[in-house]
Amino acid sequence: MIITWLLLFLTPPQTSDGFSEDILRGHRCRFEYIEDSVGINIDQVQQPEFQDQFLPMDSLKRTKKFQHYWMKIYVPVLEDSTTYYFNHYAWFDELALYFAKGPPLTKNWYKPSDTSRFTPGRRYVSLEKDDLFEGGYFYLKWYNSTDRFDRLNFQILNGKAVYTFIHTISADQFVSYDMFNFLYLGAVFIIFLYVLTTYFYNREPVYLYYLAYLFSAGMYLFSRSNLVLNDIFSLITPYIPTVPYHARYTLQYCMHLSYLWFAMSFLDFKKYYPVFYKIGRYMTYFFLLCIGITFVSIEFFPRNKAWIYIYDIERLVAIVLTIGLQVYVFFNKKDRLANFIIVGSAFFIVSALISIIALEVFYFRLGVIIEIITFSLGLAYRLRQSESAKISLAKEVERVKMIALRTQMKPHFLFNTINSIRALILKGSKEEAYEHLAVFSKLIRYVLESSESELVPLKQELKMLDIYVEMEKRRLSNDFNYKQIIEPSVNEDTTLIPPLILQPFIENSIIHGLSSKEGQKNLEVQLTRVDHQLKCIITDNGVGRSFKSSRLESVDKKSMAIDLTEKRIALLMQEKTFSKRNHVQIRDIRDEEGQSAGTEVKVTLPLILSHET
């Protein structure tokens, strides 16, 4: 911006006749006009009957759609042997310039018939004094497919003014108008990059639809400025003449279509708004048809009026659809996400109406920026909801896994217990079987009570182990000793552990270690607190793993109970892999002669407290 102002300040003033009043804008030309509905040629328009029909430019309040106009462009007194340039601030689909000498210079749908008299970019037409009729005017005939002109400006510039226009930007226009246009594009671009990054994070289609909307809305409104129309497009159209038309029409339809897809995906129309979802599907076909017909018409049949009628119909349908969507969602909204669509779309509609009434696209850009910010906040809120839902779902999955793992373990030790009671009954020890059954019922009651709990107090779990060991001692005629050692650092009341987490190891020691041993049999459970972990050591003096019994833990394969316990502990620690078996460590105990003297199992659990003491 500073460089622009500096260039303008350093530009020397022009002293040529006709340019002293406005160095940058040149000399504004007065014109007269007549409407041509019958196809008048240049010879006819110079006849007196037509000359009398020319009207002053002040009476042309607004041009008509699909109408040809003849104009007499009056220019200031031009110096001999000096080249000037004619410029127009209007969009002409067809243009023909008629001079006093030589063939007419035409531009048909932005394709000039002769480039020798056009400056680079094909915006300015060279003009000399000999080109003027009676030394003061020339004729211009033009046709336009729309009625968007409420004023027409024509200029005559000298070489210095053209240089200023081509190589610098009009400072007042840039500051007051085009600066906001670039700020608008910059804001859209920043949001586009943010949404693109978010899409790569979670790969949801709603972000793709929003990216399409950002691109089409950004490019559509950015192309609606004088700077883009007169400077940027003038450099592109010599090579791709139809770009300005696609920017105005095709991009607008793409913007409406991507908005529809975004809204349908953002609010999950198929699930929550099935009625509007069906309407949205049909509207998708309508917008695609508009895009296809418009593209083909502009490229191959530019004089066909169908694509202009489609423009009016499509815009009306889009407005009705947007308002209908807002009303429908407002009265049927399922959650807070609907508020973002309602508020954002309201800004879009209001700004579009103000822009149409005021004939100023600035208000439309402002409304779209607010709408885009609103939608972006909605996406952020939606992402936060999604992440919260994922976390809740993950917790629920882990809870179900823990219950499922406990369910897999229960039949293992329950089956062995029932077999023990069955053996007592077969021996005829009815009273002993009754006592065994009473103890077993206590154990079943504990299992049922803890089946829905992820964690239980350590004191309750140790009591369950006492009951289980008592039941096994009855089965084995009290031929082993059992002892629990709880260090003072462990609070039995506040420490929480998963239910039945230690039972498989004690069962393993009794059934496959102590039951096969001769002599004194000992089983010991020791619990200690180490930092933020609970260490559980289960030691027996049984036959050890080297004994060829049906031991749960062999050299090559762990038992199902131990494997499930590993997984339970890993889930409890929120680990994503079970490949490392560090939570359960099994060691053979050897005597002085190197013979097996028992087994030691170390189980490491996270220290979980019901409350700090």
Residues in the chain: 613
Q: First vs last Cα of the chain: how many Å apart?
A: 67
> Which pLDDT score is estimated for 575?
53
> Which pLDDT score is estimated for 22?
46
- Does residue 207 register a pLDDT over 70? yes
Name the least confident of 1-10, 268-277, 457-466: 1-10
pLDDT mean over 295-321: 84
> Which pLDDT score is estimated for 555?
38
Distant-in-sequence, close-in-space partners of 424: CB < 8 Å, separation ≥ 6:
432, 433, 436, 475
pLDDT, tens digit, for every residue of 4-45?
333 333 434 333 333 433 444 567 888 999 999 888 999 999
Kind of pairing between the strands at 522-530 and 481-486: parallel
Top pLDDT among 14 and 519 is at: 519
Name the least confident of 101-105, 161-165, 334-338, 546-550: 546-550
Single-letter amino acid code for the residue at 445 = R
Name the least confident of 20-34, 156-170, 271-285, 518-532: 156-170
The encoded tokens of residue 530 equal: 């180490």
Q: What are phi and psi of 182, to 5 degrees?
A: -70, -35
Q: What are phi and psi of 408, to 5 degrees?
A: -70, -30
- Does residue 528 register a pLDDT over 70? yes
Strands (E), 249-290: none
> Which pLDDT score is estimated for 165?
56
- Name which of 94, 87, 122, 104 is nearest 240 in CA terms: 122
pLDDT mean over 491-498: 88
Contacts 24+ apart (CB under 8 A), 197-203: 198/379, 198/383, 202/383, 202/386
> Which pLDDT score is estimated for 54?
93
Distant-in-sequence, close-in-space partners of 533: CB < 8 Å, separation ≥ 6:
604, 605, 606, 607
pLDDT, tens digit, for every residue of 35-74?
998 889 999 999 998 998 999 988 887 788 888 999 999 9
pLDDT, tens digit, for every residue of 340-394?
999 998 998 888 888 878 777 888 888 999 999 999 999 999 888 888 877 776 7
Local confidence band at 192 (pLDDT 50, 70, 90 cut-offs) = very high
d(CA 167, CA 119): 13
d(CA 348, CA 323): 10
- Does residue 576 register a pLDDT over 50? no
pLDDT mean over 455-469: 88
pLDDT mean over 529-551: 77
> Which pLDDT score is estimated for 174?
47
Averaged confidence pLDDT in the chain: 79
d(CA 478, CA 476): 6
Neighbours of 491 (CB within 10 A): 15
pLDDT, tens digit, for every residue of 220-254?
888 877 677 666 776 777 677 788 888 888 899 99
Which of 212-216, 388-392, 530-534 tops mean pLDDT? 212-216
- Does residue 269 register a pLDDT over 80? yes
> Which pLDDT score is estimated for 119?
64
Name the least confident of 115-129, 310-324, 388-402: 388-402
> Which pLDDT score is estimated for 546?
63
